[in-house]
Amino acid sequence: MYPVRRLSPTQSLTFAMCLGAAWRDVRLPPYPGERFERAEIIDALVDIGADSRAVKDALDTELPLLLLVYSDGAHLRLGPAAAGLPDTFADALRRMHHLLPRPAGETTRHLEDGEP
């Protein structure tokens, strides 16, 4: 049996912010997504009250360990585990895409009514 690892609230929020920053077009699958900046994720989460050290630990250690994000030079990307998200999870996220937290100024492409 595969052990399931639960993310802490800060790790979950950090991954949600990464997903929101990387997945800008809901018509596409979330993985591989767009590159995003580590500093923007940290700044946005600290602005809403997250502990900066916990966010940095999530970005630099815990989420990469779980293959949810990885470093791509000066940027971050969604990791290969994001490609393995169950279809039902991705479909639910697609419906709630507009609610994902994202750094200030990030733009997204939402489904229009009737779009596949």
Structural domains of the chain, ranges and CATH numbers in brackets = 9-98 (1.10.10.10)
Q: What is the mean pLDDT of each run of 10 residues along the chain (116 residues)?
A: 70 91 87 93 94 96 94 91 85 78 60 45
* pLDDT the model gives residue 79: 94
43: CB partners within 8 A, 6+ apart: 103
pLDDT value for 93: 80
Whole-angstrom distance, CA of residue 22 vs CA of residue 32: 8
Q: What is the pLDDT of residue 25?
A: 86
Query: What's the pLDDT score for residue 1?
Result: 43
Residue 111: what pLDDT? 44
Predicted model pTM: 0.80
